[in-house]
Amino acid sequence: MRRLAIAAALLTGMAQTPALAADSPSAATSSLAKATFAGGCFWCMESPFESLDGVVSVTVGYTGGTKVNPTYEQVSAGGTGHAESVQIVYDPAKISYQKLLDVFWHNIDPLTAEAQFCDHGHQYRSAIFFHDAAQKKLAEESKRALEASGRFKQPIVTEITAASTFYPAEEYHQHYHTKNPVRYRFYRLSCGRDSRLRELWGDKPS
C-alpha cells in the first residue's frame, strides 16, 4: 500500500497516544460531545471536520476491533478488527450531529464494502460509531434518507455500530495533511479519492 511506505519513513522514535474509552470523560467536558467515523484513510477524514465551526478537535486513530493498543502496522495488515477512524469532539450548541453526518457522507464512498478508494480490507470499511441512542437514531435516519433519495442505484453498505474504545494513532499521523502537505496531496491524488467523490456526489470534496 502506498501509504504504508510513506508512513514507514516517519516512524522513528514516534510513541502512541493512550487509548480513549468510548465514554471517556477526558475526551470532552460535559458540555461537549463526541462523534466517531470511519471513511478509509484517516489522513483524508481529518481535514473535512477540522474547519467546521463548533468542532473542538479531531483525532485520528483505530476503533471497532479487539486488539488492545494496536499499532498502525497491525491495523494496516488486517486482523485486528479495527478501522482507521476519526474521533471528533464538538460543541452541540454550535454544530449539530446531523451536520457532522452530512459532512461524513459527502467524504466517503458509501457503496463499496470493505474498502474505500484505493485502500482495501476490513480496516478501511466505512462506518458510523454511535455514542448514544440519539446518535444511533440520527445515523439510521440519515442512511434511510440517503437510500430514499434515489441518488444511488446500489445499496449503501456503510456500517452503523456502537462506539467502543478508541485508540489514538501515533503522533506522526495526527494532522498529517498539514505536517506533510506534499505527500498528503500525492497520496490523495494517486488514490483517486477526489475523482470518485465527484462521481458520487457531484460537488467538490472538502
Take residue 41 and report the three cell numbers written for it.
484513510
Instruction: Indicate the pLDDT class of residue 176, thresholds 50, 70 and 90.
Output: very high
Task: Tell me the pLDDT tens digit for each residue of 51-104.
Answer: 999 999 999 999 999 999 999 999 999 999 999 999 999 999 999 999 999 999
What global pTM score does this model have?
0.85
206 contacts 51 by C-beta, under 8 angstroms: yes
Residue boundaries of the structural domains of the chain:
17-195
Q: pLDDT tens digit string along 26-40?
A: 444 579 999 999 999
Catalytic residue among 41, 44, 118, 191: 41
Active site residue 41: yes
pLDDT higher than threshold 80 for residue 203: no
Q: At residue 159, does pLDDT exceed 70? A: yes
The CA-atom distances, in angstroms, between 122 and each of 10, 34, 39, 128 are 24, 23, 11, 14
Q: For residues 117 and 66, is the Cβ–Cβ distance under 8 A?
A: no
Q: What share of the chain is helix, strand, coil (3-state, %, to 5)?
A: 40, 20, 40
Domain 17-195 listed as CATH 3.40.1160.10:
no
Q: Are 21 and 165 in contact (CB under 8 A)?
A: yes
Question: Given the DSSP bridges, would you call strands 115-116 and 119-120 parallel, antiparallel or unpaired?
Answer: antiparallel
